[in-house]
Amino acid sequence: MILVTGGAGFIGANFVLDWFACEHEPVVNLDKLTYAGNLGSLSSLAGDERHVFVRGDIGDADLVRTLLERHRPRAVVNFAAESHVDRSIHGPAAFIDTNVVGTFALLDCVRAWWSEQPADERATFRFLHVSTDEVYGSLGPDDSAFSETTPYAPNSPYAASKASSDHLVRAYHHTYGLPTLTTNCSNNYGPRQFPEKLIPLMIVNALAGKPLPVYGDGRNVRDWLYVGDHCSAIRTVLAHGRVGETYNVGGNAERANIDVVRTVCRLVRERRPHVDCERLVTFVRDRPGHDRRYAIDATKIRRELGWTPAHTFETGLARTIEWYLDNGAWLASVQNAEYRQWVELQYA
């Protein structure tokens, strides 16, 4: 079996569901259930004995040690993280606590347990750490895309905290021999994403007839990766990646934010003709220190492991919008008072 941390969040929940669609191994799912963690995303697994959910913190060494000793996983896949740049600007402490201190505590506990296992089990064990392209900083319009050898230059508290966690993972491999793997992905989108990120926020506001807030001039560029493709990449790296290596995962879909919003508007209107999204687009004060462009060079994972994304941006976005339109109950459940207050504060 495998131990997944942060498996009730956006990418983690999609990974757990994808895992059971493709694999037979059980999953122990450890998640703290912060504001972005949602067991409703895993409702289809209710009663499935392969899925064991444990509410808890990766920084709780006693709990992690108990889970390792009880279940003896052959791998740990670490999604657990605070992950929203905007929230890190307003409150960076939580990002240091989870992404740096929490990752350290998890690594140290796993290392201690792993070192006590028989040699054959130590050799086949893997610790896969899921990270972000934001650790590399910002690109100019003509700069080459981020590769695995791009120097780190994080510009937000979130990016700095993830860079720190990446360095810890690297250090635990080189110092202690812990068999680690790291993936750095581009901007994910897809079903079950908490609607504070760009694409689900645009869908939610469009359906409600509310303004669609776009930072600055809307020309900030991101490489967009459908979450299902990201999940397949993680499974591929876990199965075939070289120990100690990093693999960049991208969607081959660079888009300016304003173009993303306009595509969302077009696809929503195709399905809901009465919703006139374009008139709702509203440019708002830019995010402090807003990185201008990210782009991923995914040559390494394609060349070494044969992975490429299965979805274009348009096909992935169409699937995403269909999911949100078909899952109004899930969407309503996450738009609580705290969520509404956050959106009002951020885009006032």
List residues with catalytic annotation.
133-134, 158
Q: Which residues contact 132 (CB under 8 A, 6 or more apart)?
A: 83, 159, 162, 184, 185
The CA distance from 78 to 73, in Å, is 13
The CA distance from 98 to 87, in Å, is 13
Q: Which residues contact 70 (CB under 8 A, 6 or more apart)?
A: none
Count Cβ atoms below 10 Å from residue 175 Cβ, excluding itself. 9
Q: Any idea what DSSP says for residue 59?
A: T
Residue 102, both tokens: 């929490």
CA torsion, ordered 55, 73, 310, 204, to nearest 10 deg: 0
The CA distance from 276 to 126, in Å, is 49
> DSSP characters for 157-200?
HHHHHHHHHHHHHHHHHHHH---EEEEEE-EEE-TT--TTSHHH
Would you call 273 helix, strand, or coil by DSSP? coil
The CA distance from 228 to 222, in Å, is 18
* Count, residues in the chain: 348
Sign of CA dihedral 263, 84, 282, 293: negative
